[in-house]
Structure 1
Amino acid sequence: MNEHVAGSGAEPDPADAHPESDAALRGVIDDYMSTFEPEPEDTAGLRERILRLVRDDLYRGPSTHLQTGRGNPFSISTASVRSIVRIAVDSVDGIRARSVDVEPAGDPEGSAATVALTVAMRAGIPFAATAEVIRGSVAAAVLAELGIPAVRIDINAEDVYVD
């Protein structure tokens, strides 16, 4: 496996990222190819194209799969989705985002989102009123940035802090 050295400018090779996944995928492709016996011209480079897609996906990290209001599917990195929610939560006075989980929801799935998050709040802040402000901020950010509604926003106050 290639090692990435900070500051070297060299990126790790995604092909080296998950050799077990590559081997498993190669097995599935081989089974498929032996069962259906496609014409050789139909399979030229198929395995490498599939593996390149899988490697690229692994290299980018986990994705959240959603759809636009018109039903067009899209993927966005889960880290980006969490960042959108964190910024919305942190914009509320006296609140700091902790964990964030966003899951596709709606019918069809991915046309909406459910959000579960934990927060730390400054001592003396009334939770019930502030939770509604957090929900409004998160709902607006999800709609503005992702183009889908947040149909459920669960908030758990996990910690209290003093400035």
Structure 2
Amino acid sequence: MDVNEQVGSGAEPDLTSAESQRESDAQLRGVIDEYMSTFQPEPEDTAGVRERILQLVRDDLYRGPSTNLQTGQGHPFSISTASVRSIVRNAVDAVDGIRARSVDVEPAGDPKGSAATVSLTVAMRAGISFAPTAEAIRRSVSAEVLAELGIPANRIDINAEDVYVD
């Protein structure tokens, strides 16, 4: 089982967190041992290698799902998807009378990850006109994505899902 499949599936694992961690560690140790056996390094050369690799994998798992993007100079980087969603939510919530609901950001552009496609749902305060407000949302999200991530939002889809009264 690929470690990312378990994390990215969204399904609750059957094992407790500690059992799941032990199972992942055992699988990774097996992969590392198999790799290490192909070139037979001296024991002193491998001291701590397994633990460093396992720690890197654990750190990645704790961070959660990531969104892979690229800088304007073509340098790839990865940022937690939760952080990207938070950036977009804050931009949406900055627009008067709008509350962000769901947010989805996908890498886009050519090369992939040099831009972002944003899809979001919002709740609007009663009495607000949607068309001009949608443009204000697009401006706010576009500016924040560019300022915080350094890439443009090439498309921003907005769906008004709910209306509320203060």
TM-score band, normalised by shorter chain: 0.7 to 0.9
How far apart in 1 are the matches of 2:62 and 2:120?
Answer: 26
| 1:147 to partner: Cα distance | 0.4
| 1:156 to partner: Cα distance | 1.3
Runs of 5+ consecutive residues of structure 1 not aligned to the other structure: 1-13
CA RMSD of aligned residues (A): 2.3
Deviates more, 1:138-147 or 1:44-53: 44-53
Give aligned pairs, total.
149
| 1:75 to partner: Cα distance | 2.1
Matched with 1:51 is 54
| 1:102 to partner: Cα distance | 1.3
* One-letter amino acid of the structure 1 residue matched with residue 41 of structure 2: E
Q: Provide the secondary structure at the position in 1 that maps to 2:110.
A: coil
Q: Identical aligned pairs, as a percentage? A: 81
Which residue of 75, 83, 103 corresponds with 1:72? 75
CA contact (8 A) 1:17 1:55 kept: no
Q: Provide the secondary structure at the position in 2 that maps to 1:18.
A: helix
Which residue of 122, 125, 128 corresponds with 2:125? 122
Which residue of 141, 144, 154 corresponds with 1:141? 144
Q: TM-score, normalised by structure 1?
A: 0.79
1:99-125 deviation line (CA, Å, top 9, x unaligned): 111122222222111111110011122
1:103 aligns with 2:106: yes
* One-letter amino acid of the structure 1 residue matched with residue 39 of structure 2: E
Matched with 2:85 is 82
